[in-house]
Amino acid sequence: MTTLYNEIMIKATPQTVWEVLSDLGRLAKYDPIVTKSDPIDKLTSGLAARRHCQTRNGWFKEEVSEWQPYERQAFTLFDCNLPMKALKHSYSLHPVEDGTRVTQVMTYTMKYGLLGRLLDLIMVRKQSDKGIKLFFEGLKQEVEHQTL
């Protein structure tokens, strides 16, 4: 299993960050990797809400597996055509003097056994971390633009 840690400071309240982060259909608006993001069911937010996302390289479906408004949210992958067979990413929002510190922990396991682990070491881990950083920059811009 691979674990990646990232964080970013956003000049906005946790409530404002939460408003953007918890809107399942909004992801494609600020994540440059995701080209389309749609809720799967009538439940569009909250625990067990699900979405289907299209990326430049494939697609994935995930479900909200943790939901603590303004504090913590997590998503768990339940289907995809990417090389991961299990993936969970969680976000924690921490109020600080200038806004909100958002931390993310992503854990995943690769498909394809030893070949998948080698692929992770050579390429996937680096690409995933880069994608998270791009996502965070997009989230920051989306939230801070909203507060102007």
* CATH code assigned at 11: 3.30.530.20
List pLDDT tens digits, range 81-91: 999 999 999 99
Query: What's the whole-number mean pLDDT along residues 4-13?
Result: 98
Instruction: Label residue 93 left, alpha or beta by phi (over 0 means left) and psi (-120 to 50 means alpha).
Output: beta
Query: What's the whole-number mean pLDDT along residues 106-127?
Result: 96
Q: Which residue range forms the structural domain that includes residue 132?
A: 2-146
pLDDT level of residue 148 (50, 70, 90 thresholds): low
Query: What's the whole-number mean pLDDT along residues 17-42?
Result: 95
Q: Is the pLDDT score of 27 beyond 70?
A: yes
DSSP 3-state percent helix, strand, coil across the chain (nearest 5): 35, 45, 25
Provide the number of structural domains found in the chain: 1
Q: Is the pLDDT score of 77 beyond 90?
A: yes
**Residue 86: C-alpha distances to residues 2, 9, 14, 135, 140 (Å):** 10, 28, 28, 20, 27
- At how many degrees (to 10) do helices 14-21 and 125-146 cross? 120
Per the CB < 8 A criterion, the answer to whether 44 and 52 are in contact is: no
